[in-house]
Amino acid sequence: MNRAPILTFSHLRWNSVFQRPHHIMSRLASRRDVLFVEEPVPHRGETEIDVLRVAPRLNVLQPRIPCEAGGFGSGKQNGLESALRKLLRSQGWGEFVAWLYTPMAVTLARALGPRSIVYDCMDELSAFRFAPSELRQREHDLFQCADVVFTGGPSLYRAKRDAHHSVYCFPSSVDMAHFATANGIPEAREQEEIPRPRLGFFGVVDERMDLEILRHLAAERPEWQIVIVGPIVKIDEAHLPRAANLHYMGQRAYQDLPGFLAGWDVCLMPFAMNAATRFISPTKVLEYMAADRPIVSTPITDVAEPYGDIVYLGKGAGGFLEACDRALHDSEANRSIRRALASQVLRQTSWEETVDRMNGVLGRLGQPVEGAAPSTNKPWTGDDASVPRFAS
């Protein structure tokens, strides 16, 4: 399986916020051919697939299917299965690896006859708003047929490790060079006229964000300017807090993010403490570290456990505001300590290393994995009995 191509099924679209699937697949495509299948969208005609070439060995497939609702699902797959089979034959793919980010695609993936199946579990999708009712059952089915399971963080590893015989923890990583440019480039023009201090967030604005925290910060500290960069998803915009010092910038391209970071004094992760955030392991914490900015977060597990001595933590609206105060006014000595610890973390991780390790596991599928050792990708603070298996 060292060079077998990869057929990826994703709930995230390629042109959405650049996240774990984008980082991993764009790098795997330097080693293998990759077809990235987005969730189907409904239309009135026959099943069709648009092919978007995004790199020499990476093509994005955008299916359109004749049904009222899109998405993957056993009741909608016949025409799509046939179209994908035809496309795979045209590519000469006799053998391939099916790589799933969504359990909803498990029936379709199995029907296509992959040589191996990988489940890269990046989130507890069943806890998200508007999750399909059958998602938990589909994940159970996927655990039954997957050859290997990767998880996107320690919390998910602990939740999934007993569900499958071969589970590896591969925390998301960082493109250090990309985000470090925040310290040497002009800031984004869109925020040049916004006064300082600026506290910023980039990412998806959805049910995982604590809107009360934003409302409280804006009201209690009117001199602070809060900049929110990212799409608003599954939230009625009428429910968003509004204030003169709250600035919603909308979705921006991945390459533009360092320009926004360049003008921020503090980086924010105002996550709600709810079922949707119980297992999240946000990539942005490392991206903020790479930009060398103070970071304030609510105490979600995969931030508080490994990075509690780097990130300023605050629970609830009041606690978060106090943590922001500390981040803005901390002594240079304390900031230097946090900066040194962040540098240690960043030296131990990169997307290239993570993908190399994943690719190594793919090469051993069907073979016994011996001597798997803990990775240095992230600090691990659990007890010895809970240390996850990492690919070596």
State pLDDT tens for residues 364-379: 886 544 433 333 333 3
- Write out the CATH class of domain 6-173+354-386: alpha beta
When pLDDT is averaged across residues 136-151 and rounded to a whole number, the result is 96
Q: Using an 8 Å Cβ cutoff, are 120 and 99 in contact? A: yes
**Model pTM score:** 0.90
Tell me the H-state helices in 50-133.
78-91, 106-111
Arithmetic mean of pLDDT over the chain: 91
Q: Is the pLDDT of residue 233 over 90?
A: yes
Q: What is the pLDDT of residue 74?
A: 58
pLDDT tier for residue 196 given thresholds of 50, 70 and 90: very high
Q: Is the pLDDT of residue 282 over 50?
A: yes
When pLDDT is averaged across residues 106-127 and rounded to a whole number, the result is 94
When pLDDT is averaged across residues 110-136 and rounded to a whole number, the result is 91
Q: Where in the chain is the domain with CATH 3.40.50.2000?
A: 6-173+354-386, 176-347
Q: Is the pLDDT of residue 382 over 60?
A: no
Q: What is the pLDDT of residue 76?
A: 65
| 335-355: pLDDT as tens digits | 999 999 999 999 999 999 999
Q: How far apart are CA 151 and CA 243, in angstroms?
A: 38
Residue bearing tokens 């540098």? 343
When pLDDT is averaged across residues 124-129 and rounded to a whole number, the result is 86
**pLDDT: which is higher, 111 or 128:** 111
Q: How far apart are CA 143 and CA 145, in angstroms?
A: 6
Q: What is the pLDDT of residue 133?
A: 85
**pLDDT: which is higher, 73 or 309:** 309
Q: What is the pLDDT of residue 315?
A: 97
At what angle are helices 351-363 and 20-28 packed, to 10 degrees?
Answer: 60
pLDDT tier for residue 381 given thresholds of 50, 70 and 90: very low
Task: List, in sequence order, every beta strand (DSSP E) within the chain.
Answer: 6-10, 34-38, 41-42, 48-55, 58-65, 97-100, 116-121, 148-151, 167-169, 198-202, 225-229, 246-250, 266-269, 295-297, 312-313
Whole-number percent of the chain with pLDDT over 90 = 82
| 29-44: pLDDT as tens digits | 999 999 999 999 988 8
When pLDDT is averaged across residues 147-169 and rounded to a whole number, the result is 96
Asked if the bond preceding 197 is cis, omega within 30° of 0, the reply is yes
pLDDT tier for residue 380 given thresholds of 50, 70 and 90: very low
CATH H-level, domain 176-347: superfamily: Glycogen Phosphorylase B; (3.40.50.2000)
Q: Is the pLDDT of residue 61 over 60?
A: yes
Q: Exposure pattern of 111-134 as b/e (b: 16+ CB <10 Å)?
A: bbebebbbbbbbbbbbbbeeebee
